[in-house]
Structure 1
Amino acid sequence: MRSLFSVTLLLLLALTLTAEANKRVKGHKAAGKHEKRPASECSADDTRYGKCIPNDGDCGEGERESTCKDRTEQIPCKIPCNWKKAISDCKYKFGPWGSCDAVSNTKSRSGTLKRALFNANCDNTVKVSKPCSPKVKKTRGDKKSN
């Protein structure tokens, strides 16, 4: 009976120490994050945001201007690296690519606005185009002829 009590006490002590160590580690990780900014007297409608400018290259962590009344400050932002550069603050849902235009050798598709970042001025619909592929795709029914 004493051994069971001792084992239970040791397990309880180990769990307590592990939980305390996890709290310290989690608190330490948060120290590198951006500090919380004090609440502003401006509402979201009164605040105007500039374009996000990445620190390195054309995507990733960066800064943008936030302007409210007479006060302008730099705030952190991020441009995902897989978004289109010209419409970086706007996310669109695109349809399938259209057929190839023989005159311009391009194909296009249109997208409708899905969401906008930080009160960005986004068009409700956009049209993007790209060069046509030089290869002709075969359908499943086509077979090689010998």
Structure 2
Amino acid sequence: MRSLFSVTLLLLLALTLTVEANKRAKHHKGGKPDKSRPASECTVAETRYGKCVPDHGDCGDGQREATCKDRTDKINCRIPCNWKKDISDCKYKFGAWSSCDTGSNTKSRSGTLKRALFNADCQSTVKVSKPCSHKPKKTRGEKKSN
């Protein structure tokens, strides 16, 4: 009787571990690439990439077309939600924000091209702006007053 109980408990434990492993594998998004797809004969320099088109909204996970010779594939991509749409495939080194322009209530800064992702067509310099903050910045020595 005791051995039957032990065997039943062991089988139950093995079944539970198998189910948990399958759940983790099903929901896992990262990891190694799918080996079932054949490797492309094209190099990265020969491949032309389209714009990343998000699945929902204007940022987040999406897809882009990768074209090489006569073959076009859809590949996964991601647009960070804090990047402007027109410069999403370009990386820039930005300077400090300018002082607030009281007429338009905006401040701006310019950036120079650091690198282009996926052979993107990038401007050498860009200028971005944003609304001015309504709160004055506190210096390091100031304490919160409650």
TM-score for both structures, normalised by structure 2: 0.62
User: What amino acid is the match of 1:74?
Assistant: K
CA 1:46–1:98 in 2, change beyond 3 Å: closer, same or farther?
same
Work out whether 1:98 is the aligned partner of 2:85.
no
Q: State the partner residue of 1:4.
A: none
Three-state SS of the structure 1 residue aligned to 2:78 is strand
CA RMSD of aligned residues (A): 3.4
CA 1:30–1:46 in 2, change beyond 3 Å: closer, same or farther?
farther
What whole-Å deviation, never above 9, does each CA across 1:11-53 have from its counterpart, x for those lacking one? xxxxxxxxxx8xx949x63885462442211121111000111
Q: State the partner residue of 1:89.
A: 89
| C-alpha distance in 2 between matches for 1:42 and 1:139 | 54
Bigger CA radius of gyration: 1
- The alpha carbon displacement at 1:138 in A equals 7.7
CA 1:76–1:134 in 2, change beyond 3 Å: closer, same or farther?
closer
CA 1:81–1:134 in 2, change beyond 3 Å: closer, same or farther?
closer
User: What amino acid is the match of 2:91?
Assistant: K
TM-score for both structures, normalised by structure 1: 0.62
Q: State the partner residue of 2:75.
A: 75
Q: Which moved more, 1:73-82 or 1:33-42?
A: 33-42
CA 1:31–1:103 in 2, change beyond 3 Å: closer, same or farther?
closer
- The alpha carbon displacement at 1:116 in A equals 2.9
CA 1:62–1:109 in 2, change beyond 3 Å: closer, same or farther?
same
- The alpha carbon displacement at 1:83 in A equals 2.1
Structure 2 gaps, min length 5:
1-16, 142-146
Q: State the partner residue of 1:41.
A: 41
| C-alpha distance in 1 between matches for 2:92 and 2:116 | 9
Structure 1 gaps, min length 5:
1-20, 142-146
- When the two structures are aligned, how many residues end up with a matched partner? 120
| C-alpha distance in 2 between matches for 1:70 and 1:62 | 23
| C-alpha distance in 2 between matches for 1:113 and 1:30 | 40
| C-alpha distance in 2 between matches for 1:31 and 1:104 | 48
Matched-pair identity in %? 70
